[in-house]
Amino acid sequence: MIESPSCNQSFRLNMQSTLNLENISDIVQLAIKEDIGKGDITSEIFIPKDSKSEGIFIANENGTVAGLPVAKYVLSQIDKNLVFTSNVEEGSRVSKGTAIANVKGSTQSILSAERLVLNFLQRLSGIATLTSKFVEKVKGYKTQIMDTRKTIPGSRSLERYAVRVGGGTNHRMGLYDQILVKDNHLKIIESEKENGTMNSLVKKARERIGRKMLIEVEVDDLSHVRDVLNAGVDIIMFDNMEPSKISEAIKTVKEYEKVRDTAMDKAILTEASGDITLERSAAMCSADNVLPRFDALIFAFVSSECFLPLCAAAIRAFTSGRAMVAFILAIASGERFCLFADIRHTPVHILCGFRPIGKAI
C-alpha cells in the first residue's frame, strides 16, 4: 500500500523539502571514494563487463520514503548510463513489500552502487519515518517538528532534508544564523560580570544584528524567566524543567506579553528540552487546556535501515544493525512552545531485487 503525501504535505514538500544536489555533491563524492575507491574488484572480476541487470528497491517494512533524489544522483555519479525510476513520491508512506524504485543498466555498476544507495535511502527514510511519527503524535495541536545541530558531521543538509520530508521543519542551520545563549555561555557571563548583564549583552547583540536574527536564551529555573524576558529575547528555552514548572514559566511569559512595549509585535517563542519522548510530547500537548496557546514543535531524528536482496542472483545485502542518534529539537511553530528529545532510531528495511536482463548488443 502506498499513501502519498497529503495536500498540505505535498505543498510542504514543494516549498521546503526540495534538495539542492550541489549541496550534497561533496558528501556523495566522499562516500564513493570511501566505498568504491579504485574500483569494485569483486564485480570487475566475477561479472562480465557487458552484463545488464535491473535492481528493484522494495520496502521490507512500513515507513516514510526519503532519499529518492539522492539515490538517483548517487547512481548518476557512478555510471551516467544507469536509468533510475521512482515508483512512489518522495515522502510517501509505504507498507512492507512496496517496490519504491528500480534501476537498470550495467550489472557491474549496479553492484558497485548498491550499498551506497541503500545507505542513503536507509538513513534518510529512517529520519523521515520517525519524524512523521512525531508529527502524527502531536497532530491537532498546531505543532511543527524541528531539528537540532546534533547531526552526523558533514551530513547536516541531507539529514535536515529528511526531517522536512517527514513533515518537520529545520531549526538554525549552524552557529552563524541564530543566537542561542546556552548554559556554558551563561556560566561565563555570570563569572565575568564586567562584560555586562544579560540586558546589556542582548542590547549589544541587537545593535549588531538588528532584527534579522532571532535571539534565544536557555533557562533552567523559574527565577531566571523574568530577567530573560526583560532583556528582550525572541525565544526562551526551558532546559530540564518539569512540566508543572514549564506551565508556570509560560504563564509568566504570557503575563509579560500583556504589558510589554507594544512596539514589539512578535510573540515570544518558548521551547523545552530534556527527556522528551514520543509519549511525553503528546502529554505536553494535552496541557493545552492549561496553556491555551501551547503550540508544541517537536522533532525526532531517525535513520532508516534498508535491505537490498538481489533476488535473481540469490544475493541479499543487509545493513548493519541499529544506530543511536541523539538529535532532536522542537521549536515553536505558532508563537508558543517547542520540545527537545533524544531518540533511538530504528532503520526501515528496504530490499532491492536484482535480475539479469541480458547482455549488451
Domains of the chain: 2-139+302-321+345-359 (3.90.1170.20), 156-161+168-298 (3.20.20.70)
Q: Please tell me which residue in 54, 90, 216, 218 is annotated as part of the active site.
A: 218
- Give the position of cell 545593535: 207
Consecutive H or E run containing 99: strand 99-106
Residues 6+ apart with CB under 8 A from 291: 247, 250, 251, 336, 337
CA angle in degrees (0–180, nearest 5) for 350-355-357 = 140
Strand order of the β-sheet with 99-106 is 83-86, 99-106, 51-59, 350-359
Catalytic residue (one of 35, 89, 104, 115):
115
Facing residues of 92 across strands? none
- Of 153, 156, 97, residue with least CA distance to 127: 156
Q: For the segment 261-283, what is each residue's pLDDT rounded down to a tens digit?
A: 655 557 888 887 777 677 777 66
Q: What average pLDDT does the structure give for the chain?
A: 75
Backbone angles phi, psi at 329, to 5 degrees: -150, 150
Q: Which of 96, 104, 149, 150 is catalytic?
A: 150
Judged by DSSP in three states, 159 sits in: helix
Q: Are 216 and 179 in contact (CB under 8 A)?
A: yes
Whether the predicted pLDDT of 192 surpasses 90: no
- Is 239 an annotated catalytic residue? yes
Based on the residue annotation, tell me whether 142 is a catalytic residue of this protein: no
List 89, 239, 248, 288, catalytic entry: 239
Which residues share a beta bridge with 310? 315
pLDDT band at 325 (very low <50, low <70, confident <90, very high): very low
Report H helices in 192-335. 198-209, 225-231, 243-259, 278-285
From the CB of residue 133, how many other CB atoms can be counted at a distance below 10 Å?
A: 18
What is the sign of the dihedral through the CA atoms of 313, 360, 87 and 127? positive
Query: Across the strands, what pairs with 235?
Result: 216, 269
Rounded CA separation 346/325 (Å)? 10
Q: State the pLDDT confidence band at 352, using cuts at 50, 70 and 90.
A: low
Higher pLDDT, 50 or 197: 50
- In which band, very low, low, confident or very high, does the pLDDT at 316 lie, cut at 50, 70 and 90? very low
- In this prediction, residue 266 carries a pLDDT of 74
Whether residue 211 lies in the annotated active site: no
Check whether 322 has a pLDDT greater than 50.
Answer: no
The answer to whether the CB of 173 falls within 8 A of the CB of 159 is no
pLDDT, one tens digit per residue, over 200-218 is 888 889 899 888 889 999 9
Q: What is the DSSP string of 163-194?
A: HHHTTEE----STTS-EEE-HHHHHHHHHTGG
Is 150 annotated as catalytic? yes
Residues in contact with 162: Cβ distance below 8 Å, sequence separation at least 6, in sequence order: 66, 67, 123, 124, 125, 126, 127, 128, 131
Q: Which of 301, 354, 359 shows the shortest CA–CA distance to 112?
A: 354
Catalytic pick among 182, 260, 316, 344: 182
